[in-house]
Amino acid sequence: MNVDYIIVGFGLAGLAFAETLEKHDKSFVVFEDNSQNASIVAGGMYNPVILKRFTPVWDAIDQLRIALPFYKGLEKKLDVKLDYPIDIYRIFSSIEEQNNWFNACDKPFFAKYMIPEVRKNSNEAINAPFGFGKITNTGKIDTKVLLDKYKDYLANKGAIHFEQFDYSLAALDNQTVFYKDYVAKCIVFCEGFGVKRNPYFKDIPLREAKGELLTIHAPELRIDFLLKSSVFIMPLGNDHYKVGATFNWTDKTLLPTEDGKNELLTKLKRIITTDFEVVEHVAGIRPTVKDRRPILGKHPQYEQLAILNGLGTRGVLLAPKMATKLFDHLDNNADLDKEIDIARFD
Ligand SMILES: Cc1cc2nc3c(=O)[nH]c(=O)nc-3n(C[C@H](O)[C@H](O)[C@H](O)COP(=O)(O)OP(=O)(O)OC[C@H]3O[C@@H](n4cnc5c(N)ncnc54)[C@H](O)[C@@H]3O)c2cc1C
């Protein structure tokens, strides 16, 4: 069967590329083996402010400009709710942090997002003697629902295979790729940390960071905003909250660990004073890059092989814009910006 593209991996990167192909009436088939799950467990937050230092996220405004209509379009196409606007309350740990907050609020970039005041805490279940800074026009995408629904959509069209892509079976000639029953113009690899098994791209300089998350049931907490301190506490409805996330640079397994859980619980108990019960514990590996920029482009030797990876800690914001950039590069020969081009590592 002839297709324009084969996509390997269906996390946020693979999904964004598939949707971009659909918009351009290109044919494709996806291979997905459930070996990674960053996109499934992700908090799904989009927020243009780095909450540690109150600085702008790289390229965030343009990424938001593309991402929000992208997810709105998918809500319509898949007939499902995905985008949940939610404010963020950043707990201040000192007077100095309050001052830093006001300094940042003075910058035009933040005008739409950071409210220039210190909010007092009136919730006895929260420990915040220095109050909060509120960030608005932020939200979360329900990535699990999005991926599940889009997989169903592709399965109905016969455009996804739930199996491992076997790299040894891919054959290349000058302009074409052959894989099992398929002949394609290009394979786009979107495997997240799974790229380490890919003989063509395994040497890209990833600095993967495992993250663990808890879901808790805390009936007395009663917050309808995302609370951020050393961990975030995100309301899920029905008194359930997602709590995360850890950063582990050495453990590359997908399994949740006791250490990860204890770290989250220790931090959580410093923030909330109410009783809670842990109901779920998950882990995933963020495909982060040493220079903190995504990795896009063609294989230096094989033009028919391309990559979309390195979405790091911000896949929700990055994926739609990066998918568009890669498509324009592959299909229309547009140049890639140096800072995202895989060629920067040559
Ligand atoms: C704990 C945690 C919290 C996070 N919170 C946020 C957040 O709030 N906001 C945000 O924007 N980002 C967040 N992220 C980051 C976000 O999850 C990632 O940026 C994003 O999911 C990366 O997507 P991806 O598609 O590149 O990789 P992945 O999600 O890892 O997807 C890769 C896919 O490829 C498949 N695959 C791999 N190899 C093969 C093969 N050989 N054959 C077939 N299939 C294959 C895997 O099964 C997987 O489905 C978080 C991540 C973690 C771990």
pLDDT in tens, the chain (346 residues): 999 999 999 999 999 999 999 999 999 999 999 999 999 999 999 999 999 889 999 999 999 999 999 999 999 999 999 999 999 999 999 999 999 999 999 999 898 999 999 999 999 999 999 999 999 999 999 999 999 999 999 999 999 999 999 999 999 998 899 999 999 999 999 999 999 999 999 999 999 999 999 999 999 999 999 999 999 999 999 999 999 999 999 999 999 999 999 999 999 999 999 999 999 999 999 999 999 999 999 999 999 999 999 999 999 999 999 999 999 999 999 999 999 999 999 7
Q: If you measure from the C-alpha of residue 15 to the centroid of ligand 1, how many angstroms do you get, rounded to a whole number?
A: 11
Counting from 1 in the atom list of ligand 1, the atom nearest the Cα of 165 is: 42
Counting from 1 in the atom list of ligand 1, the atom nearest the Cα of 195 is: 38
209 Cβ closer than 6 Å to some ligand 1 atom: no
From 6, 12, 340, give the residue whose CB has the most ligand 1 atoms within 8 Å, as the site to mutate: 12
Take residue 130 and report the two structure tokens written for it: 């220095």
- Residues in the chain, overall count: 346
Distance CA 206, CA 294 (A): 10
Pairing mode of beta strands 88-91, 305-309: unpaired
218 Cβ closer than 6 Å to some ligand 1 atom: no
Take residue 346 and report the two structure tokens written for it: 């040559």
244 Cβ closer than 6 Å to some ligand 1 atom: yes
314 Cβ closer than 6 Å to some ligand 1 atom: yes
**Element containing residue 44 per DSSP (H, E):** none
From 71, 147, 313, give the residue whose CB has the most ligand 1 atoms within 8 Å, as the site to mutate: 313
Q: Are 318 and 309 in contact (CB under 8 A)?
A: no
Residue showing tokens 């054959």: 171
Checking 235-244 for CB contacts under 8 A at 24+ apart, the result is: 235/86, 240/215, 240/216, 240/279, 241/215, 241/216, 241/276, 242/43, 242/213, 242/214, 242/215, 243/213, 243/214, 243/215, 243/216, 243/268, 244/43, 244/211, 244/212, 244/213, 244/214
Take residue 135 and report the two structure tokens written for it: 């960030």
Pairing mode of beta strands 209-217, 182-189: unpaired
Burial of 169 (0-12, 13-18, 19+ CB in 10 A): exposed
